[in-house]
Amino acid sequence: MADGITISVAVEGLVDEAVARRLIVFAGATPGPVYGKQGKPFLRERIAGYNNAAQHSCWMVLVDLDRDHDCAPPLRAAWLPQFAPRLCFRVAVRAVEAWLLADPERIAKFLAVAPGKVPSAPETLDDPKSAMVALARATRRREVREDMVPRDGSGRSVGPAYASRLIEFATSCWRPEVAAQRAESLRRAIDCLQCLAKTP
Amino acid sequence: MSNTSKPLRFEKITLTNWKNFASCEIAVGKRAFLVGPNASGKSNFLDVFRFLRDLAVSGGGFQEAIDRRGGVSAIRCLAARRYPDVDIRVVVIDADGSSKWSYGLAFNQDKQRRARIKKERIERDGLLLLERPDSDDKQDPERLTQTHLEQVNVNRPFRELASFFESIRYLHIVPQLVREPDRSVGRTNDPFGGDFLEQIAKTQERTRLARLKRIRDALRVAVPLLAEIELIRDNRGTPHLRGKYEHWRPQGAWQTEEQFSDGTLRLMGLLWVAMEGGGPLLLEEPELSLHPEIVRYLPQMFARVQRRTGRQIILSTHSPDLLRDEGIGLDEVLLLQPSAEGTKVRPAGAFTEIPRLLAGGSTLADAVIPRTRPEHADQLSQFGDL
């Protein structure tokens, strides 16, 4: 079904893009052009435009909940009063890293850490990105640590090839159907995309 | 290239009166991103490393390095005042920090405008190996026209350092030169890519095939229709790269480098040198001709490559797409800001606002680019009416 419905995408960053693409393919649709990738405020300013465009074609907008609100519905309401039927507006609780952590077996293998170290309820994490970095810090492999964990003095929250590693994981190792069992916001996103993929 | 096991890299550089830099001292990490307005001195900063290479390379040396730059007066900073000498000091360390070199060279010109060394000093792990002028220099001042670094008969105790300088590589591929290598006949290691194809051809076949395959895989991201790349020689022996493009014709179509786009050639050049390993790699605006989506991935690509090779990468850039990368450390971005007293160089982390802007959701590009804006850029819009 690779050439079924095409879904345009708007996301915050590079890792979100890889996750969105993977989910769209998993849902049986084809990823279209990917917009944004310049942070959350960039998307928020343009959400009305994405919603307009979704009057005519299928769209997925994926944002992180972060600590903006306690749960997804108030964030949705704050962004737009009403979404076009073909706009799949999804909120990752609290960040897309939680969705990746929700496949504990695979992420443990990918990062070379003990499976027991992967947080069991990723959607309850306050800051999934720092949880991912903390997990990478515990790796047995030096190259994973050097890529994903920031150096002392770098002043950044992630290492120099953090995004590249997670893109690799999301694209080639991650199982959305397994992860959906531990991440409700992911399950809803998959349902929404599968529904969109069947749009006549 | 001699340093293979424990690659050396620059740790600190101190400049006095070097071109735009009246006085500057800056730490450089494994990666450095130089940003600043046009003519702030990004290329001149890179040129210090090229100067050190010119000192050490065979066929080079102090006089040659000075001549290539148009003499001492073309090098000395216009803001130079009381202290007239040009002074370069670098600290070089190895990967695990177990070995530390320092090299210092001060020079000026005599009344006949001939370049003269004022001081040359080399230390290894705190031990002084060379300090000039020495008594021989005082007896025979003609000796001060050459560094000891460049002299094989005396540089044995610090040849490792000389080889390190020699291993510095500058790359600024000009696609037109790759396509028409005749324009740079006979140059080896041409930074502008004139002998790029010859260098690929000289690489051992197994290595070459493996690298070209990896380049093809990487390039398919940027140029999806590119199915194969190979190196061939024409009947005059001149090497050519050719690529097979998937096509509506079942066999596809072969094109040589003459038909490759500027972006394809530049990206090939970048990927090739990235895989080479070796000494510090100096890149001038690697974003040129590339799609912004490709540029965004360059910092991550460099990070993964240099984790494997240990190669230091120092590059200049104007690209917001490149600086948007969230893995670039604030200590890796060096801001060049011109002033009447010469250009100042400071790491992004030294500006208290920058970490705060990042914490508020700005990208590094949002936080840094406004500080690199030329002061009167807006006047350019009135150019037609001036």
What residue type is assigned to position B294 of the chain? I
- Domain membership flag for residue A189: yes
| DSSP state, residue A150 | P
Q: Which residue of B has its CA nearest to A37?
A: B324
- The answer on A129 and A83 residing in a single domain is no
Under 8 Å CB pairs connecting chains A and B tally to 68
Tell me the nearest-neighbour CA distance from B7 into chain A, angstroms: 17
CATH code, domain with A185: 3.40.50
- The answer on A191 and A156 residing in a single domain is no
With the C-alpha atoms ordered B327, B330, B332, B333, is the resulting torsion angle positive or negative? positive
- The answer on A117 and A57 residing in a single domain is no
- The answer on A102 and A70 residing in a single domain is no
First and final CA of chain B: distance in angstroms? 53
- Domain membership flag for residue A1: no
User: B214: how many CB neighbours lie within 10 A of its CB?
Assistant: 14
The answer to whether A10 touches A34, Cβ cutoff 8 Å, is yes
- The answer on A160 and A144 residing in a single domain is yes
User: Does the beta-carbon distance from A162 to B331 stay under 8 Å?
Assistant: no
Look up residue B122 and give its two tokens. Answer: 């080399």
User: Does the beta-carbon distance from A155 to B304 stay under 8 Å?
Assistant: no
- Residue for token digits 């740079």? B184
Kindly give the confidence (pLDDT) of every residue in chain B, 386 residues in length, as a single tens digit, with 9 standing for 90 and above.
Answer: 344 456 899 999 999 999 999 999 999 999 999 999 888 999 999 999 999 999 999 889 999 999 999 999 999 988 777 788 999 999 999 988 789 999 999 999 998 889 999 999 999 999 999 999 999 999 999 999 999 999 999 999 999 999 999 999 888 877 777 777 665 555 666 777 777 788 888 888 898 898 888 888 877 766 667 778 888 888 887 888 888 877 666 667 778 777 777 888 888 888 888 888 789 999 999 998 888 888 898 999 889 888 888 899 999 999 999 999 999 999 999 999 998 889 999 999 999 999 999 888 888 999 999 988 766 777 777 777 76
Q: Which residue of B has its CA nearest to A143?
A: B307
Quick one: residue A44, left, alpha or beta (phi over 0 = left, psi -120 to 50 = alpha)?
alpha
ipTM at complex level: 0.89
Summarize the confidence of residues A26-43 as an average pLDDT: 93
- When scoring A143, A164, A165 by the number of chain B Cβ atoms within 10 A, the one with the most, hence best to mutate, is A164
What pLDDT, in 10s, does the model give residues B130-184?
999 999 999 999 999 999 999 999 999 999 999 999 999 888 877 777 777 665 5
- When scoring B296, B326, B333, B358 by the number of chain A Cβ atoms within 10 A, the one with the most, hence best to mutate, is B326
Q: Report A:33-52 residues touching B (Cβ under 8 A).
A: 37-41
- The answer on A84 and A142 residing in a single domain is no
Cα separations in angstroms, A32 against A6, A48, A75: 6, 19, 25
Look up residue B249 and give its two tokens. Answer: 């014709």
Q: Structure pTM?
A: 0.89
Q: Is the peptide bond before B183 cis (omega within 30 degrees of 0)?
A: no
A156 touches chain B (CB under 8 A): yes
User: Does the beta-carbon distance from B325 to A163 stay under 8 Å?
Assistant: yes
What pLDDT, in 10s, does the model give residues B332-373?
999 999 988 899 999 999 999 999 998 888 889 999 999 887
- The answer on A108 and A77 residing in a single domain is no
- The answer on A76 and A150 residing in a single domain is no
**Sequence-ordered list of residues with C-beta below 8 angstroms from that of B384, at least 6 positions apart, any chain:** none
- The answer on A67 and A139 residing in a single domain is no
- The answer on A133 and A74 residing in a single domain is no
What pLDDT, in 10s, does the model give residues A73-116?
999 999 999 999 999 999 999 999 999 999 999 999 999 999 99
Cα separations in angstroms, A100 against A196, B25, B104: 22, 43, 51
Look up residue B323 and give its two tokens. Answer: 């600086």
- When scoring B295, B325, B335, B369 by the number of chain A Cβ atoms within 10 A, the one with the most, hence best to mutate, is B325
User: Does the beta-carbon distance from A164 to B328 stay under 8 Å?
Assistant: no
- Domain membership flag for residue A121: yes
- The answer on A161 and A107 residing in a single domain is yes
What is the side-by-side strand order in the sheet with A87-92? A30-36, A6-11, A58-64, A87-92
User: Does the beta-carbon distance from A158 to B327 stay under 8 Å?
Assistant: yes
When divided into structural domains, chain A yields a total of 2
Domain span at residue A186? 6-95+180-197
Q: SS3 for A153-177, per residue? A: CCCCCCCCCHHHHHHHHHHHCCCHH
| DSSP state, residue B71 | -
- The answer on A66 and A115 residing in a single domain is no
